[in-house]
Structure 1
Amino acid sequence: MDLETLVGEWLTVPDAAERLGVPLSRVRQMVADREVIATRIGERKVTAIPAKFVDENGPRPELRGTFTVLADGGMDDAEIIEWLFTPDPTLPVEGAPIDALRAGHKTEVRRRAQELAF
């Protein structure tokens, strides 16, 4: 399954800015600061952020450290997104690591992410 299909809902930078009620420059800064990560998708290769990376308050705070652990383990942004969205039946909640993070299982997801680094 390709990454675009695996993630499902994506937000372009303008879409994310509109959803969060912030300027485009703020969304670009979120990406630069790795509060969220983005990749290029679609035929036009537009920069997009998985919609599950944000909620009504902005970037999900539990993601930043998880991004760091996975990047330190050698993953690039597309690989990080793929890992977070790949279903894992051994998680404490049904779904993928992103769903477990959103359900409050940050410690378990980060433990698994750290295991990948070794």
Structure 2
Amino acid sequence: DRGMRYSLHNDSPVVPSDCRMLLWSAVNRRTRSGKVLGEEHRISAEEALRGITIDAAYQHFEDDIKGSIEAGKLADLVITEQDPVRIPPDELRNLTIAETIKRGETIFQA
């Protein structure tokens, strides 16, 4: 609400590095037992994607080289089969990864 930029991240290796779970957690704010934790802190999928991408790069002073799809930036991205902004929030942790690109090279393709 204050226009502050924040990032979403996890404490690997304590928990597996899985951006789908970060996205799901930020949007749903649900614990493993199903309780909603801090409902007023839920954010949209689009806001969560910013927290994983451009705002995370900003926090690390790297938004000039990564975090968004622009000419001249590192081409590190994941392509999903579903649009995370348009699917039901509960389905976010089950996004199907179609392709992963690192520095402009495909490193995974379904």
Q: TM-score, length-normalised on structure 2? A: 0.26
Structure having the higher helix fraction is 1
TM-score under structure 1 length normalisation: 0.25
* Rg larger for: 2
